[in-house]
Amino acid sequence: MSATPDEQTQEQDGPEPDEQPTPIQPPDEDEQGEAGEGEQVEGVPAEPQEGEQPSAAAGAVGEKEIEKMFKRVETANAAYARKVGEILGEEAQVLEPCPRCAAPFLGLIWPPDMKPASAEVRDAVLVSVGEQPAQATMQTKYARRCDACDGNGVVLTGSRTNRDKAINCPECKGRGWMPVGDELRVGRSDIAPATAPNGQTEVTAETLAPTAPAPDVDLWGRRVGDPDYGMHPNYVASR
């Protein structure tokens, strides 16, 4: 007996499902309460049990771990210093420890007179120690930048050694600026006196303190007006 068209269609498409699958619903509060104390419901973070200490914060380490870290840092510092010495040779002897490198971290710098710090570096160092960098914005009329060192306070000598590669500027004595007028010369032993238009140096006359008046009686008891006043007895006897 041949199947009807409807029966053929059902055989090709397969049997129809009885029920549609229902989506998984999150558990109700009552169901969560029924869960065991040690059982964690999926999707809900577990709470620490009574008497249980919460885990330490991420990144927290104990004293023993810190001590081990510092020992490894000291070993790395020794290796770094040794490697720098091998590369620079005798020139490494002029290096100075960085005053801002907190122990146990090693830092090395060139001496300031050999490699002066730039204005940006100085400002960054001041900020790192909690101080504000200089906020000056106006140029004084009593000073100008030293032309010999371009305001750096040091000049090159032409030496190939790091020790003598740079020296304090002889024109400004390492200040980086030159005075204009006499306002900034007063009381400064490192600033030469001003030069007069005729090429001679102007020297300010020193004010001498008044001398004390002569005493009425000399060391030998002779009063003022005595012909031998102030004369040593040996000279008086020899006359």
Q: Would you say residue 59 lies in a domain?
A: no
167: CB partners within 8 A, 6+ apart: 113, 154, 155, 157
Residues of the domain holding 164: 113-187
Q: Would you say residue 34 lies in a domain?
A: no
Q: Does 86 lie in the same domain as 144?
A: no
Q: Does 146 lie in the same domain as 172?
A: yes
Instruction: Check if the beta carbon of residue 232 is closer than 8 Å to that of residue 239.
Output: no
Instruction: Check if the beta carbon of residue 176 is closer than 8 Å to that of residue 149.
Output: yes
Q: Would you say residue 39 lies in a domain?
A: no
Degrees (nearest 5) of the Cα angle 233, 234, 239?
95
Give me the tens of pLDDT residue by residue for the chain, a chain 239 residues long.
555 555 555 555 555 555 555 555 555 555 444 444 444 445 444 555 554 554 455 456 788 898 899 899 999 999 999 999 999 898 888 899 888 887 788 889 888 888 888 888 888 888 888 888 777 789 999 999 999 999 999 999 999 887 888 899 999 999 999 999 888 876 677 676 655 555 555 554 444 555 566 677 777 777 777 777 777 777 666 66
Single residue among 76, 109, 142 that ends a domain in this structure = 109
162 CB neighbour count, 10 Å cutoff: 18
Q: Would you say residue 217 lies in a domain?
A: no
What is the tally of structural domains in the chain? 2
DSSP H helical segments within the chain, as ranges? Answer: 5-13, 29-34, 63-88, 119-128, 233-237
